[in-house]
Amino acid sequence: MQTAIATDYEAVIGLEVHAQLLTATKAFCRCSTQYGAAPNTNVCPVCLGHPGALPVLNRQVVEYTLRMGIATGCTIRPRSRFARKNYFYPDLPKGYQISQYDDPICYGGAVEIELDEGITKRIGITRIHMEEDAGKSIHDLDIDTLVDLNRCGVPLIEIVSEPDIRSPREAALYLQEIRQMVVYLGICDGNMEEGSLRCDANVSVRLRGSDRFGTKTEVKNLNSFRNVEKALAYEIERQIATIERGGTIIQETRMWDAATQQTRPMRTKEFAHDYRYFPEPDLVPVVVSDEWIERVRSHLPELPLARKRRLQHQYGIPAYDAGVLVADRAIAEYFERTCASLPSPTPDRYKLVSNWIMTDVLRVIGERKISIAEFSIAPERLAELVELQATQTINSRIAKELFAEMLSNPASPGKLVAERGVVQVSDTTFIEQLVERALSENPDTIDKWRNGKTNVLGFLVGQVMKYSHGKANPTLVRQQLLERLGTSDGVPG
């Protein structure tokens, strides 16, 4: 038998993503979903599974699930049911989880991911169903296992993808897209560190060209995009190596261990029948009317990828910029509001706005750990700053200084410019004088220039800027210097 090499294989990946819904109360009782409350305070007979306590479905859970279902182009089942998934765990007091099984509320959709600029791929969505979360077990070595049941009954959606993903990078892009979507839709905070968004990855490998899937493993405990990529890369390599050694892949659940950067077996795969699924007898079917679906559809916000494309076209900014801006809906809005405030909107100004946001604005809100809503420079003021810059009233160095001052000074940039007397000087006679001074104070530069040392130009511009305390218009300075110096070996005059 001929041995294959690693590149002869391809990976097949399907993700199961759990997103915690941003409802104020739990899925089947009126307990608060507040994160970080004192242990076992957000509980009641329903979510603790006391005998005789009856669940009642929170309508908001359906509303939020519909948003994601419709946003991903799923078919919505007019009538779906809940099921009990039975298993034992200390953080599951009822002994079963209320989930959906045979007939999930949403099925058959797709999400588009962008692999490279302009190259997109559709990842099928098998289903999206509603379910409740379990509590948390805290394994404290000094005490014992502690159980906090606050999270019991918190609503989740599970988004199951088709096995359409072919690489760890595609998996990360898909997960990123899902995260952006749920955040845009306002149904989940998307926080992977706090567990509001969790991902299990199913992965198998097969020889390229094969039309059959290999045996898959399911990798759990992937709490960041990096971990998803790293765990999948590890697992793909492990599976290929196993097959190459003549071994077989066991269908099992594995755990990503970030400390050792490896996956390790957790348990052999459980099958659906292990869970003894049966219809939840305490809940009526979930009925969704066409009117409800239409109402949700008509209120959907513009989704991230669509918005990214629109920003590229409408403002003529590069794909990279658009991607950074739409990563956060509020940032995208800040960008658009700033552009809308420009007195004379032009593509070069849009690009300046984008530059300011991508560098200085994001840096400041990152450093201060604040949201854009708390950022002290409102879109209107940033637009004014950009306008001053675009009309060359101030140069970019002064603009940076102004920006820094505007952070703590609420005055308009126009007023600050007037106060500081930093209006850019474009007066030719004034600049001529400074150009002469720069040349006479540095007589050797002329020879250097003639001998092709073109970097003296930058030096001379710098000198003039210094003499003018940064106020001279650098474009004019450069122009005048070039005229004065004439042609060099390196640069035409």
CA distance 22 to 188: 5
Q: Which stretch binds Zn ion (CB under 5 A): 41-49, 125-133, 291-299, 472-480?
A: 41-49
CA distance 395 to 462: 13
Question: By beta-carbon distance, which residue lies closest to ligand ADP?
Answer: 14
- Separation in Å, CA 266 to CA 107, 146, 192, 237, 252: 30, 21, 22, 19, 8
Closer residue to ligand ADP (CB): 274 or 447? 274
Q: Is 44 in the site for Zn ion (CB under 5 A)?
A: yes
Closer residue to ligand ADP (CB): 77 or 308? 77
Q: What are phi and psi of 403, to 5 degrees?
A: -55, -45
Given candidates 29, 98, 149, 390, which one binds Zn ion under the rule CB under 5 A?
A: 29
CB of 279 to Zn ion, least distance (A): 22
Q: Indicate which of ligand ADP, Zn ion, none lies near residue 31 (CB less than 5 to 8 Å, by partner kind).
A: Zn ion
Q: Indicate which of Zn ion, ligand ADP, none lies near residue 202 (CB less than 5 to 8 Å, by partner kind).
A: ligand ADP
> Do residues 109 and 125 touch, judged by C-beta distance below 8 A?
yes
CB of 126 to Zn ion, least distance (A): 30
Tell me the torsion sign for CA atoms 118, 124, 129, 134.
negative
Alpha helices in 133-220 (DSSP H): 168-184
- The C-alpha R_g of the chain, in whole angstroms, comes to 30
Name the token pair of 453.
Answer: 């040392």
Q: Indicate which of ligand ADP, Zn ion, none lies near residue 349 (CB less than 5 to 8 Å, by partner kind).
A: none
Q: Where does residue 87 rank: exposed (0-12), middle (13-18), buried (19+ CB within 10 A)?
A: middle
Q: Indicate which of ligand ADP, Zn ion, none lies near residue 44 (CB less than 5 to 8 Å, by partner kind).
A: Zn ion
Name the token pair of 292.
Answer: 């409800």
CB of 199 to ligand ADP, least distance (A): 11
CB of 157 to ligand ADP, least distance (A): 14
CB of 73 to ligand ADP, least distance (A): 17
CB of 220 to ligand ADP, least distance (A): 12
One-letter amino acid identity for 8? D
Closer residue to ligand ADP (CB): 232 or 326? 232
Place of tokens 């209006």: 423
Residues found near ligand ADP in the complex (CB under 6 A):
12-16, 160-163, 202-204, 213, 216
Alpha helices in 424-491 (DSSP H): 428-441, 444-450, 456-467, 474-485
Tell me the torsion sign for CA atoms 121, 126, 127, 133.
negative
Closer residue to Zn ion (CB): 44 or 255? 44
Q: Is 47 in the site for Zn ion (CB under 5 A)?
A: yes
> Do residues 14 and 160 touch, judged by C-beta distance below 8 A?
yes
CB of 64 to Zn ion, least distance (A): 19
CB of 124 to ligand ADP, least distance (A): 8
Interaction residues for Zn ion, span 259-278 (CB under 5 A): none
Closer residue to Zn ion (CB): 31 or 357? 31
CA distance 54 to 29: 9
Tell me the torsion sign for CA atoms 391, 396, 400, 405.
negative
Nearest to 163 by CA among 16, 18, 17, 13: 13
Q: Is 31 in the site for Zn ion (CB under 5 A)?
A: yes
Closer residue to ligand ADP (CB): 152 or 160? 160
Q: Indicate which of ligand ADP, Zn ion, none lies near residue 29 (CB less than 5 to 8 Å, by partner kind).
A: Zn ion
CB of 410 to ligand ADP, least distance (A): 52
Closer residue to Zn ion (CB): 56 or 287? 56
Closer residue to ligand ADP (CB): 163 or 413? 163
Name the token pair of 414.
Answer: 């126009």
Closer residue to Zn ion (CB): 154 or 386? 154
CA distance 183 to 178: 9
Residues engaged in binding Zn ion (CB under 5 A): 29, 31, 44, 46-47
